[in-house]
Amino acid sequence: MFKNHLNIAWRTIKKDKLFTFIKIGGFAVGIAACLLIALFIRNEVSYDRHYAKKDQIYRVVFQGVLQGEVMKSTHFQLPFADALQSDFPEINKAGKVNTIEIFGAGKRGFRINGEQESTFEENFIIADQEAFDILEIDLELGDASTALTNPKSIVISKSKADKYFPNGNALQQTIFLDNDTSNPYTVTGVMKDVPKNSHLDFDFMLPVEDNYGGWTNQNYFTYVLVNPNTDIQELEQKMSSIVEKYIIPAQIKRGRSEAFLDVLRTAEYKLQPITDIYLKSDLKMQDGLKHGDVKFVWLFAAIAIFVLLLAIINFINLSTAKSANRAKEVGLRKTIGAFRNNLVNQFLTESVIFSIISFVLGVVFAWVLLPTFNEIAAKNMVLPWSDWWFAPLLLISALIVGVLAGLYPAFYLSAFRPASVLKGKLSVGSKSGKLRSGLVVFQFTTSVVLIIGTLIIYRQMDFIVSKELGYDKERVVVLEGTNILGEKMESFKEQLSSLSQVKNVTSTNYLPVDGGSRNGNTFMVEGKDDGGRGIPAQIWKVDYDYIETLGIQLKKGRSFSKDFASDSVNSIVINTKMASDLGLQDPIGKELSNNSQVFTIIGVIEDFHFKSLKEDISALSLVIGKDFGAVSVKLEKGNPTEALASIEKVWNKNIPNQALNYTFLEQEFAQMHNDVRRMGKIFNSFALFAILVACLGLFALSAFMVEQRRKEISIRRVLGAPFKNIYQLLTIDFLKLILISICIAIPVGWYLMNRWLEDFAYRITIGWETFLMAGFIALGIAVLTISYQSVGAALLKPTKGLRTE
């Protein structure tokens, strides 16, 4: 019996090649899209799940109320971790990690003792031995119990050890950072490469310097390993005692007011599971780490389901539409004794065969497209061919999808009455039934929603790229790893400034892009009767040329000048937002206290964006200070290639054995929004998949409609019906369905995309023109899809259509 079912299925495939191609092709495209999305989701949810004790590892988060607003932070004082470990027996270990604040972000010179030239490396972190243990760093070489106990030790990754020490002799080698030969580091460990699915991405670990900071400087992430079965909520409540015991006494010594201390007393400490940091954190902009977005995971999961549903709908639509062609087969088989369950099994067998073939092709499509998808998503995913569950899962999925897709057509077709069929009274399928019409509406509603999403994502990205930022990012070359210049920095800047192609030069790593250094502190207005409450603000160390080089506009007062000796000591320039937060109408000349230092405001600059456009502009201040992490060069208009060649000559003159590394500030700004751009590309790609599947179904239905009405069309042509009438006859019903789809899709698309735009502090306004354009695109796609068959039928010679009569 099963062999007979296979033979009939094979004959059906050969008889209706177009419909078979669309059934299988639509299924395969849907399966490929689902498989790619499943790989992406699997990768996203796998972050930080490689830790053996992942259920016991947490990151501490500070939460307090400042000026009526909830403020969160992941940065803590140097002794904070030690206090947690000593005061709370529930905490087995507490460790501290610093990613950028102390040494600054960006690339650093890395040189092996005995080598002449430094290379530039990034991905450095600072950690103590407790953090080393909590993060379960796996050493291939060295002693894990003492790897970071020596203040001049360094642990490097296996890939970097292979790069610099191919003979395997990395241990005890001497390393110089930023060409500082007076401060050598010794390699005390070679660790396995940190998994790519980790929120911390590093190749080098340096030990914490205990002489930096106390209870007033907040520079470290704090990770804790709690004992099994710890009541986390109870522990969080107990941890608030840290404030009264340690932090408030330290602030009293600094002369903080009682009002300021009251703000500290609102502090709470929350424990964030390490498995939530990447995907579920609401501190993505604050901690500067690698993050995903759980909303995109849900969005892509929904798209995967909808694409598969569209493919299944195509199958059901085409199967029921072709019912008239199979009605006689059903009638004859029932007449000669076939039972309904035999017919159901026959049609389900055909459906499962279609499904299996589609799954095979879908896996092939996914395998071919995966490299391109990896490039778009910035991933390194592979199909899990070697995993024991992969092949069985595909087979079971193929069977389930095949049965579900074929269930309705099987029972529908097998229900025909033999007498009605053989008398020719059944003409099911020649018109678009209610179910089929409803499914077409569902398909194109989904497609129009995706088109709306694609347009809005494109407009938002264009808005980000073209928005006025408050500084000039054009023609600014950022020279990286310039710490290596040391005392030559001023001379180097002067030599660059003398070049005819160079307009301005500034040396600092505090730049308004991701990867730039950051340093936050609390400021208060001296002598102001505001209860001594402070505001959080960034304080950046810059040089005298920073404001002019980046084209930042001065609103009040003056910029820094070498003509004023006090500028290098206690002068400060603040942005408009900071002046507003401090409540200063006329800030020039006012004094601000920060830690134990007092600054005098000499200027106010216009607000400029120094973070992602997902965030509002926050308070920022500039002070004169040395930070040699990067040198930014503003070029004159002209050929940048010639300017870069001149800059390289100056570089080689100062450091002849060192290659020059540079980037453009404009590129760095673009990279700051790479995550949104990547997600937009992924969304657009799968939107295209969905629209393609929907169009395949519409194409097949229009082809079938033309086939069913061929004789009617020929008779109308003989009676003189013009091309226009024939074309309208074949398209008007479909276009009505598309219009209904557009009306349903517009409010759905508006709601979903409005929710997506909520993530951006600076966003476009969704106007009616977006929905109008989406509607025209959907109509255009539908008309082109239908017209291929409709135009051909309308131009068909009547004699061909009537030849069989």
Domain boundaries, given as residue ranges, for the chain = 2-43+294-463+674-802, 56-287, 476-672
- Phi, psi for 76 (deg, rounded to 5): -130, 165
Q: What percent of the chain has pLDDT over 90?
A: 37
pLDDT in tens, 723-741: 788 777 778 888 888 899 9
Question: Residue 281: which of 199, 223, 222, 220 has the closest Cα?
Answer: 199
Q: What is the pLDDT of residue 104?
A: 46
Q: What is the pLDDT of residue 238?
A: 92
Q: What is the pLDDT of residue 402?
A: 83
Reduced to 3 states, what is the DSSP secondary structure of residue 471? Answer: coil
For residue 351, name the pLDDT band (cuts at 50, 70, 90).
confident
Per-residue HEC secondary structure of 122-164 comes to: CCEEEECHHHHHHCCCCEEEECCCCCCCCCCEEEEEHHHHHHH
pLDDT in tens, 166-217: 887 899 999 998 878 888 999 999 999 999 899 998 999 999 876 556 777 7
Q: What is the pLDDT of residue 446?
A: 87
DSSP 24-54: HHHHHHHHHHHHHHHHHHHHHHTTT---TTG
- Sequence-distant (≥ 6) Cβ neighbours of residue 586 within 8 angstroms: none
CA dihedral 774, 776, 777, 778 (to 10 degrees): 90
Question: Residue 351: which of 405, 276, 285, 292 has the closest Cα?
Answer: 405
- Phi, psi for 292 (deg, rounded to 5): -110, -165
Instruction: Give the Å distances, CA to CA, from 41 to 45, 296, 383, 441.
Output: 6, 9, 13, 29
Averaged pLDDT of the chain: 84
Summarize the confidence of residues 286-294 as an average pLDDT: 79
User: CA-CA distance, 644 to 148, in Å (whole number)?
Assistant: 41
Q: Which of 204-218, 228-242, 743-757 has the lowest mean pLDDT?
A: 204-218
Number of other CB atoms surrounding residue 757 within 10 Å: 16
Q: What is the pLDDT of residue 326?
A: 62
Q: Which amino acid is at 658?
A: Q
Strand-strand pairing, 69-73 and 218-226:
unpaired
For residue 359, name the pLDDT band (cuts at 50, 70, 90).
very high
- 643 half-sphere exposure, CB direction, 13 A CA radius: 23
For residue 327, name the pLDDT band (cuts at 50, 70, 90).
low
Q: What percent of the chain has pLDDT over 70?
A: 85
Q: Is the pLDDT of residue 762 over 90?
A: no
User: CA-CA distance, 455 to 461, in Å (whole number)?
Assistant: 10
Question: Residue 130: which of 192, 73, 165, 79 has the closest Cα?
Answer: 79
User: CA-CA distance, 427 to 194, in Å (whole number)?
Assistant: 65
- Phi, psi for 670 (deg, rounded to 5): -60, -40
Summarize the confidence of residues 324-338 as an average pLDDT: 63
- More confident site: 59 or 427: 59
| Residue at token pair 């296996």 | 158
Summarize the confidence of residues 614-627 as an average pLDDT: 89
Global model pTM greater than 0.95: no
For residue 155, name the pLDDT band (cuts at 50, 70, 90).
very high
User: CA-CA distance, 547 to 554, in Å (whole number)?
Assistant: 8
User: CA-CA distance, 418 to 416, in Å (whole number)?
Assistant: 6
User: CA-CA distance, 82 to 612, in Å (whole number)?
Assistant: 34
Instruction: Give the Å distances, CA to CA, from 62 to 130, 206, 268, 397.
Output: 20, 25, 6, 46
User: CA-CA distance, 293 to 756, in Å (whole number)?
Assistant: 11
For residue 661, name the pLDDT band (cuts at 50, 70, 90).
confident
